[in-house]
């Protein structure tokens, strides 16, 4: 698993990468009340704003961590945004992306580096 400095996690599953937000991000946001996800089939580039997440405290954009095609989205968190707070590192993933170049993940943090980053 890899982590971005924008508090996203990335987990490789076969030929796709599952992306969500970290527990730290979920705690900082507070109660999530709205999630907007990209469309399946969207082609995205690294750092594109592709998701919107709103909480009682703030609204945030989620950036594409890598180039690729969105192959699946988690409709459950659109229907029940509060699930993001319950299990941000598991069932409350945001989208799955088929990467153009998996080596783009090499620059991201491992778990120990992320824990140091959030201090």
Note the pLDDT of residue 103. Answer: 95
Q: What is the CATH number of domain 2-101?
A: 2.40.50.100
Contact 63, 21 (CB under 8 A): no
pLDDT at 72: 98
d(CA 82, CA 53): 11
**Residue closest to 51 by CA, chosen among 66, 34, 68, 67:** 34
Residue 116, helix vs strand vs coil: helix
pLDDT in tens, 36-48: 999 999 999 999 9
Q: In the prediction, which pLDDT does 65 show? A: 96
> Of 115, 114, 118, 119, nearest to 2 (Cα)?
114
User: What string of DSSP letters covers 68-109?
Assistant: EEEEEE-HHHHH-TTHHHH-TTTTT--EEEEES-GGGGGGSB
Question: Kind of pairing, strands 16-21 and 95-99?
Answer: antiparallel
Q: Whole-prediction pTM value? A: 0.95
CA–CA separation, 67 vs 82, rounded Å?
A: 28
Contact residues for 112 (Cβ-Cβ < 8 A; gap 6+): none
pLDDT by residue for the chain (119 residues), tens only, comes to 999 999 999 999 999 999 999 999 999 999 999 999 999 999 999 999 999 999 999 899 999 999 999 999 999 999 999 999 999 999 999 999 999 999 999 999 999 999 999 99
């Amino acid at each position: 698993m890899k982590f971005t400095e924008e508090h996203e996690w990335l987990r490789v599953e076969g030929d796709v990468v599952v992306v969500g937000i970290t527990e730290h991000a979920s705690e900082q946001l507070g109660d999530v009340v709205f999630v907007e996800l990209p469309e399946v089939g969207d082609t995205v580039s690294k750092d594109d704003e592709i998701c919107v997440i709103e909480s009682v405290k703030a609204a945030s954009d989620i950036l594409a961590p890598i180039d690729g095609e969105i192959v699946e989205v988690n409709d459950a968190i659109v229907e029940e945004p509060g699930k993001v707070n319950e299990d941000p590192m598991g069932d409350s993933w945001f989208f799955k992306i088929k990467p153009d170049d998996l080596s783009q993940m090499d620059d991201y943090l491992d778990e120990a580096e992320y824990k140091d980053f959030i201090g």
